[in-house]
Homo-oligomer: A and B are copies of this chain.
Amino acid sequence: MARQPARSVGGRRRASHSMESVLGEAVALLDEAGAPALTFRALAQRLGGGVASIYWYVANKDELLDLATDHVMGGVLADIEKLPPGEDAIDDRRAMALTLFDAVVRRPWLGAYFMRNTDVQSNSLRIYEMLGRQTLRLDLSARQRFHAVSAVIGVVVGSAVDMGQEPPQEILDGAVGRDEFLGRFAQAWRELAPDEFPFVHEIVDEFDGHDDVDQFRSALDLTLAGLRLQAGL
Binding site for B on A (CB under 8 A): 112, 115-116, 118-119, 125, 128-129, 132-133, 135-136, 142-151, 153-159, 161-162, 165, 185, 188-189, 196-200, 202-203, 205-207, 210, 214-216, 218-219, 221-227, 229-230
Contacts and interface: CB of A to CB of B under 8 A. Distances in A.
Contacts of A198: 129, 133, 136
Number of copies: 2
Given A132-B203, A158-B155, A224 B226 contact: yes
Contact of A206 (B143, B207, B210): B143
Contact of A199 (B129, B156, B158, B215): B129
A223 B229 contact: no
Given A225-B225, A226-B222, A199 B154 contact: no
Prevailing SS type, chain A contact patch? helix
Contact of A161 (B132, B158, B205): B158
Contact of A219 (B154, B161, B189, B199): B154
Contacts of A142: 202-203, 205-206
Contacts of A112: 112, 161
Nearest to A151: B219
Nearest to A222: B226
A206 B146 contact: yes
Nearest to A122: B192
